[in-house]
Amino acid sequence: MLPIENLKRPDVRKIGVFDSGLGGLTVLQELLRNHPGHEYVYFGDTAHVPYGSRSAEDVIELVCEIAGYLVQQGCQGLILACNTSSALAISALRTTVDVPVLGVIGAAAREAAQVTSGCVAVLANPLTASSGVYGERIRLESKGLAKSLPRVVEIGCRDLVPIVEKGLLHTEESKHILEGYARTVLDAGADTMVLGCTHYPLLLPVLGPLLGEGVKIVNPATLMSDYLHPLEHQESPTVEFKVSGSPQEFSASASRILGWDIESRQVLLRRPTQTL
């Protein structure tokens, strides 16, 4: 098995959790449930979402700037609650910041290798899918488990992040789009599907029933808590929310997803806003 970087150190109390937008909230929610003793700073790069339509260079530059900001805010560890950043920027980041950095791909690939009986589909944005990182990691993990190598089908989905960011899940058009992806997964003969974008767990109310019981779902958001050091619980966990785009829009959507009212503040990045 490949080593997975972790944040299991008692001196890592304040953790920066980062995504391009709302998706990382699926990770944050699990962290708050399992590790309420930590302090969290959530950063959504909403001025530049979706990352899936950007170049790798763009993503690396943005992620390095945001990571630098989170470390400046006192974060002693970082979680890339974003598959694209985990696929493309983690190596660059580890040479840029001097705190431990945990990505989502290692844990998800290991879980997929463990549970599959032969074919894994990975739904991800086009940039993550074309990087081939999931296929590579799942095969390496399978070798480590002495299992025969599964077939891995990486499916690039351009249109799913906007459905989440714009709150359009329960529309006919979104259902139609999700039916198409579910058909691709089923036609590939997949017995396991990785949600290779942290936005995608928020699609499960519609996507889950389309896939049916025969496909095991690997959700990286539920796996990250295993890589933190348990701290004593506080009465209420501390979370600050920062965004590079509109704090009003983010606060409204994040409050809806988390089920409690949050406030966020804007942090202007060096790079101007460039919505695609």
Active site residues: 82, 197
Maximal CA-CA distance, the chain: 50
CA angle 193, 199, 205 (to 5 degrees): 70
Span interacting with ligand DGL, options 18-26, 176-184, 204-212, 250-258, rule CB under 6 A: 18-26
Question: Which phi and psi (to 5°) does residue 119 adopt?
Answer: -145, 120
Strands (E), the chain: 14-19, 39-44, 77-80, 101-102, 119-124, 151-156, 192-195, 216-218, 238-243, 264-266
Identity of the residue, 50 or 135, whose beta carbon is nearer to ligand DGL in the bound complex:
50
Rounded to a whole number of angstroms, the minimum distance from the CB of residue 102 to ligand DGL is 14
Beta-carbon count within 10 A of 55 CB: 11
Asked if 244 is part of the footprint of ligand DGL (rule: CB under 6 A), the reply reads no
Q: What is the rounded distance in angstroms from the CA atom of residue 254 to the CA atom of residue 268? A: 19
Asked if 222 is part of the footprint of ligand DGL (rule: CB under 6 A), the reply reads no
Asked if 50 is part of the footprint of ligand DGL (rule: CB under 6 A), the reply reads yes
Among residues 197, 203, 221, 243, which is the contact residue for ligand DGL, using CB under 6 A?
A: 197
Q: What is the rounded distance in angstroms from the CA atom of residue 186 to the CA atom of residue 112? A: 16
Identity of the residue, 131 or 142, whose beta carbon is nearer to ligand DGL in the bound complex:
131
Among residues 116, 125, 222, 264, which is the contact residue for ligand DGL, using CB under 6 A?
A: 125
Q: What is the dihedral of CA 274, 156, 79, 139, to 10 degrees?
A: -150
Binding mask 52-71 for ligand DGL (x = CB under 6 A): x-------------------
Rounded to a whole number of angstroms, the minimum distance from the CB of residue 178 to ligand DGL is 16
Span interacting with ligand DGL, options 80-88, 93-101, 106-114, 256-264, rule CB under 6 A: 80-88
List Cα–Cα distances, 238 to 32, 33, 138, 246, 267, in angstroms.
9, 12, 35, 22, 19
Find the helix packing angle between 25-34 and 247-258, rounded to 10°: 50
Binding mask 82-111 for ligand DGL (x = CB under 6 A): xxx---------------------------
Rounded to a whole number of angstroms, the minimum distance from the CB of residue 79 to ligand DGL is 12
Provide the binding-site residues for ligand DGL, judged by CB under 6 A: 19-20, 23, 49-52, 82-84, 125, 128, 161, 197-199
